Amino acid sequence: MKSLPPDLRAKNLVELSEEAELSTERVLGLLWDAENDCFVFKTNYPKVKEEILKAEKVPTKREMASLVMSVYDPLGLVVHFTIKGRIIFQEAWTTKSDWDEEIPAELF
């Protein structure tokens, strides 16, 4: 640390004791839980109907695109969860259905 000029050093200090409350830091949609030293993804889909999230209704192609594209994952850390939705959307695209028609049930 002594080799770094003072202007390049952090100005704020964070106490790293067991009593200190460490916050969750957010960068580009990715959350880092400093206390547990792990990445956290919070899912919040306010524009997606609740019955679609609960799998009570088959989404339209438009709703599926909205849901699949709302997950921002620049590092690809949750791609193993999102790839299934992207594959279903790709298959729905090949059916040539309208944007506001429900995706065929056999794709699920």
Residue by residue, pLDDT tens for the chain (108 residues) are: 678 787 777 665 455 455 555 565 555 667 777 777 888 877 777 788 889 888 898 899 999 998 888 887 878 888 988 899 899 999 999 988 899 999 988 887
Whether 34 is covered by a domain: the verdict is yes
Beta strands 38-40 and 24-27: pairing type?
Answer: unpaired
Whether 61 is covered by a domain: the verdict is yes
Note down the domain range covering 42: 6-107
The encoded tokens of residue 15 equal: 């106490």
pLDDT given for residue 94 in this prediction: 92
Whether 87 is covered by a domain: the verdict is yes
Whether 89 is covered by a domain: the verdict is yes
Whether 12 is covered by a domain: the verdict is yes
Whether 75 is covered by a domain: the verdict is yes
> In whole angstroms, what is the distance from residue 107 CA to residue 15 CA?
51
pLDDT given for residue 97 in this prediction: 87
Whether 19 is covered by a domain: the verdict is yes
Number of domains in the chain: 1
Whether 26 is covered by a domain: the verdict is yes
pLDDT given for residue 1 in this prediction: 62
Q: Which of 41, 57, 42 is nearest to 105 (CA)?
A: 57
> In whole angstroms, what is the distance from residue 8 CA to residue 10 CA?
7
Whether this model's pTM surpasses 0.75: no
pLDDT given for residue 3 in this prediction: 83
